[in-house]
Amino acid sequence: MKLKILLSLFGSMFFLSNMYAQQRVKGKVYDLENQEMLTGVTILVPSTKAGCTTDRTGRFELIVPEGEAYLQVSFVGYVSQTVSITSENISIGLEPAHTVLNQVIVSASRDAQLRTDAPIAISTLSTKLLDETKATSLEQVLNKTAGVLMVDLGNEQHAMSVRQPMSMKSLFLYLEDGLPVRPTGIFNHNALMEMNMAMLHTIEVIRGPASSLYGSEAIGGAMNFITQRPPKTTSGKVSFQGDSYGYLRTDMKFGTTTNSKVGLNIGGYYAQRKEGFLDYSDFHKLALTATMDYPLGEKTTLKSTTTFIDYFSEMGGSVDSTSFYEQAFKSLHSFTERDLTLFRTQVKLDHQWNTTSNTSVRVVYRNNTLGQIPSYFIRNNWTNPLKATGEINESSFQSYGALIQHNQALPSLKTTLRTGLSLDMSPTGNRAKFIEVERDENGRYTDYTRTDSLLTRYNTDLLNLATYVQLEVKPTKRLQIVAALRYDRFRYDYDNHLSSNAFSGAPDAVNHFEAITPKVGLTYDLGKGFGAYGNYSWGFVPPQVSEMYRGESVPTLNPSTYYNYEIGGWMSLPSNRGYLDISLYRMDGTDEIISMQQEDGSYRNKNAGKTLHQGLEYTLKLYPVKAVEFRLSGTNVMHRYIQFNNGEVNYDDHEMQGAPSFIGNAELAYRPGFIKGFNASLEWQYVDEYFMDAANTERYEGYQLLNLRMGYSLRQFEAWLHIMNLTDERYATRVSKSAWGKSYSVGAPLTFQWGVGYKFHSKNNSL
């Protein structure tokens, strides 16, 4: 009995000594590149293998044995670290692992998952790439992505090509933090000028139809512009930049996270151009974005993103053949312009019910007004060369939307179920007034006179109700199967305020469109960094409001449907020396809406019977040594009319206009270890020849460019010099042909871009 008592006392003393020989360690983990907190990071104690993960605010708390010197920190897509325990409160910065493909993405399912679990073609433009590129317009970064050609039309205006020819049609979905920038039915090909480049964290680009998740317009691709969240400590940045053709820009950013864990971040830029290389091309833009993260408890977080844009640009338009080849870039216009004001805000509530279940609720409000005197609506008078016609127009909308998504993991079934419901109500207004235009003997449009003649005056109430479900099953460790289904119903309530003999004279109507868009795909991990995927998906897009009712007496357009077949794969190179990512696709379009240029240079929308889009997209990244990075992004494509008779001409088996068969972008980057903070890169952009018109009568020869970028950071200071179009290539970003001749959108000549910046951040690590 005495022995048992003695042993019990000894055991109690041993337990108490061990209990007191422990310490509580708290900390936070953040991304070294952008100072944002990281959720789900694994923290392990090497001696005991006990551990935890960071919470939704990037924080963790762990009990470790007394004298334990290190923690092991790991997170997919980041370089693992062994961190010394120097105090009870530690702050850990992780570096993104750019040498591997397996990064965390959010756009494939509206929730975080591994890139290699998503059976789609998706690319991520990292914070580091955005920071080093210092883009003055978004095509400078987006065109580094395989399968993407963003067409620069000047002053952040653009067209797009992703699994489609260069197009201004509603075939591409632009998202801010997972929600569309514009509601369905009110697409604008210039929508990316409505983004705040100064507050971008990363960009995720989905290529191919994503309608099963995002709905209409996600046909050629969907681009998700992910906003910077609040930093871990008080930090900020200010920079100034300009170029040799009158461009000036100032960026400012400030963010902090308080001791109560409330995070705030605000930033933006003001840019302007005066007296650029192209006559009549001045512009200015103010962009501001504020984000807030507010924890409502350990399992609930409230996040908001609010953006304001004020934009104005003169519209110099394109030039003719003579001006282009003589490099006499004088605009024919003297009063055409574009004026945009927008405000949008979204609030997201995330709640983690338990380790297998979470729900997010988002609400969004958008208010957008776009006024124009568009150069592309100026029409010459056939009988009097000193006269022309045009219009002043304005389109506006207010939009109210909500999205609810629930994610439910079923571990026993190795399954994740995602369900969602969305609602979008958008009252819109369109108004256009006829103007009489004066033209001088040199063909320049010198002035205009307003008239009382209304071309267009209508309102449309848009309603889109949708529900979707996505099932992800992992029957084996290597195989994942994804199946998704979405139902959309659209209601256009059109109210025309003009008579039937007006330019836009369609009678009042209520039009309905609906679609079921499925998708099925799988990924298979072959091991050792090899994997493959395949998918079959549908895309659907109803006619846009302007396509349906502008200039129509009887709306005749049908919705477009696309059927996509795709296979792809990836291969990691030994010793983290790089990877290859590849995708092969075929997309069949039915009733695709085509803008056909008329004899007078105007455009008319038609449904093409059948179209074919197929291609090969590939990205190769190599890291031969630590200081050198090489990337090649290539796209070999074919876009063809299979059945298309517009009532006047048969275009069957013709190549589609504006469709180069090869697009390439390669870059060699150098970051020497012996000059810490220095980076340099040489970029090559190639666009192959293409037909200027649907009749395939003449080709544009295409172009290739070299861009040299150099940057240097010293402590909080940075400076950069970029030499764009290094060889001073004469080129056009887009060329078309009509009865009036050829029209060239002029690309920028040799341009020097420079900038200086200052960053600061507090070293306060208080929790």
CATH of residue 133's domain is 2.170.130.10
- Is 478 strand, coil or helix? coil
From 288, 431, 454, select the one nearest 371 (Cα to Cα).
431
The helix or strand, by DSSP H or E, that contains position 333, with its residue range, turns out to be none
From 260, 152, 262, 144, select the one nearest 663 (Cα to Cα).
144
Between vectors from CA 596 to CA 593 and to CA 601, what angle results, nearest 5°? 145
Phi, psi of 485 (to 5 degrees): -150, 135
- Cβ neighbour number for residue 257 with a 10 Å cutoff: 27
From 427, 423, 545, select the one nearest 488 (Cα to Cα).
423
Distance of alpha carbon 324 from alpha carbon 701, whole angstroms: 13
Is the pLDDT at 250 greater than 90? The verdict is: yes
Q: 173 or 101, which is more confident?
A: 173
Does residue 554 lie in a domain region? yes
Residue 254 pLDDT: 96
Does residue 203 lie in a domain region? yes
Total number of domains in the chain: 3
* Tokens (6 digits) for 614: 């197929």
Give the CA distances from residue 459 to residues 183, 370, 504, in Å, rounded to whole numbers and listed in that order. Answer: 15, 15, 12
Do residues 139 and 49 share a domain? no
- Cβ neighbour number for residue 518 with a 10 Å cutoff: 13
> DSSP code of 260?
T
Supply the mean pLDDT for the chain.
89
Give the CA distances from residue 595 to residues 168, 646, 700, 734, 736, in Å, rounded to whole numbers and listed in that order. Answer: 9, 11, 19, 15, 12
Model pLDDT for residues 300-320, shown as the tens digit of each residue = 999 999 999 999 999 988 888
Residue 595 pLDDT: 67
Does residue 10 lie in a domain region? no
Residue 44 pLDDT: 85
Residue 46 pLDDT: 82
Decide if 28 contacts 58 (C-beta within 8 A). Answer: yes
Do residues 195 and 257 share a domain? no
Does residue 15 lie in a domain region? no
Is the pLDDT at 270 greater than 60? The verdict is: yes
Is the pLDDT at 503 greater than 80? The verdict is: yes
* Tokens (6 digits) for 73: 């920190």
Do residues 755 and 651 share a domain? yes
Residues facing residue 282 across a β-bridge: none
Model pLDDT for residues 602-652, shown as the tens digit of each residue = 566 777 789 999 999 999 999 999 899 999 999 999 999 998 887 778 889
410: pLDDT confidence band, cut at 50, 70 and 90?
very high
Does residue 320 lie in a domain region? yes
Does residue 181 lie in a domain region? yes
Residue 14 pLDDT: 44
Which residues are CB-neighbours of 625 under 8 A, at least 6 positions away? none
CA atoms within 13 A on the CB side of 322: 5
From 228, 332, 209, select the one nearest 290 (Cα to Cα).
228
Do residues 477 and 368 share a domain? yes
State the residue for tokens 């005066």.
274
Distance of alpha carbon 538 from alpha carbon 485, whole angstroms: 10
> DSSP code of 47?
T
Give the CA distances from residue 172 to residues 144, 161, 217, 219, 426, in Å, rounded to whole numbers and listed in that order. Answer: 17, 9, 5, 6, 19
Q: 40 or 202, which is more confident?
A: 202
728: pLDDT confidence band, cut at 50, 70 and 90?
very high
Domain boundary among 94, 127, 149: 94
Residue 73 pLDDT: 86
Do residues 215 and 166 share a domain? yes
Do residues 90 and 128 share a domain? no
For residue 33, the domain's CATH number is: 2.60.40.1120
Distance of alpha carbon 528 from alpha carbon 522, whole angstroms: 19
Model pLDDT for residues 568-577, shown as the tens digit of each residue = 999 989 888 8
Do residues 566 and 650 share a domain? yes
Residue 599 pLDDT: 57
Do residues 466 and 438 share a domain? yes
Decide if 278 contacts 746 (C-beta within 8 A). Answer: yes
The separation between the first and the last C-alpha atoms of the chain, rounded to the nearest angstrom, is: 51
Residue 765 pLDDT: 44
Domain boundary among 223, 257, 288: 223
Is the pLDDT at 389 greater than 80? The verdict is: yes
205: pLDDT confidence band, cut at 50, 70 and 90?
very high
Give the CA distances from residue 134 to residues 50, 127, 194, 356, 747, in Å, rounded to whole numbers and listed in that order. Answer: 43, 11, 18, 40, 19
For residue 505, the domain's CATH number is: 2.40.170.20
Model pLDDT for residues 53-101, shown as the tens digit of each residue = 887 677 888 888 877 778 888 876 678 888 888 777 888 888 777 666 6
* Tokens (6 digits) for 523: 């990924």
How large is the average pLDDT for residues 473-501?
Answer: 94
Ordered DSSP codes for 391-431? EEEEEEEEEEEEEEEEEEEEGGGTEEEEEEEEEEEEEEEEE
Is the pLDDT at 419 greater than 70? The verdict is: yes
Model pLDDT for residues 666-709, shown as the tens digit of each residue = 999 999 989 999 999 999 999 999 999 989 999 999 999 999 99
Q: 370 or 55, which is more confident?
A: 370
Phi, psi of 254 (to 5 degrees): -145, 135
Domain boundary among 177, 208, 223: 223
Distance of alpha carbon 746 from alpha carbon 166, whole angstroms: 15
Residue 344 pLDDT: 97
723: pLDDT confidence band, cut at 50, 70 and 90?
very high
The pTM for the full model equals 0.91
Do residues 391 and 410 share a domain? yes
Do residues 149 and 87 share a domain? no
How large is the average pLDDT for residues 467-480?
Answer: 94
Do residues 363 and 451 share a domain? yes
Phi, psi of 11 (to 5 degrees): -65, -40
Residue 601 pLDDT: 53
Look at 284-293, 562-571, 585-594, 629-638 and tell me which has the smallest mean pLDDT. Answer: 585-594
* Whole-number percent of the chain with pLDDT over 70: 94
Residue numbers of the domain that contains 229: 224-761
> DSSP code of 470?
E
Distance of alpha carbon 693 from alpha carbon 439, whole angstroms: 27
Strands 662-670 and 628-643: antiparallel
Decide if 77 contacts 98 (C-beta within 8 A). Answer: no
How large is the average pLDDT for residues 418-437?
Answer: 96
Do residues 215 and 232 share a domain? no
Distance of alpha carbon 616 from alpha carbon 496, whole angstroms: 45
Does residue 287 lie in a domain region? yes
Is the pLDDT at 102 greater than 90? The verdict is: no
How large is the average pLDDT for residues 364-373?
Answer: 97
Residue 55 pLDDT: 77
State the residue for tokens 């988002």.
362
Does residue 3 lie in a domain region? no
* Tokens (6 digits) for 263: 């995070």
Look at 42-51, 245-254, 258-267 and tell me which has the smallest mean pLDDT. Answer: 42-51
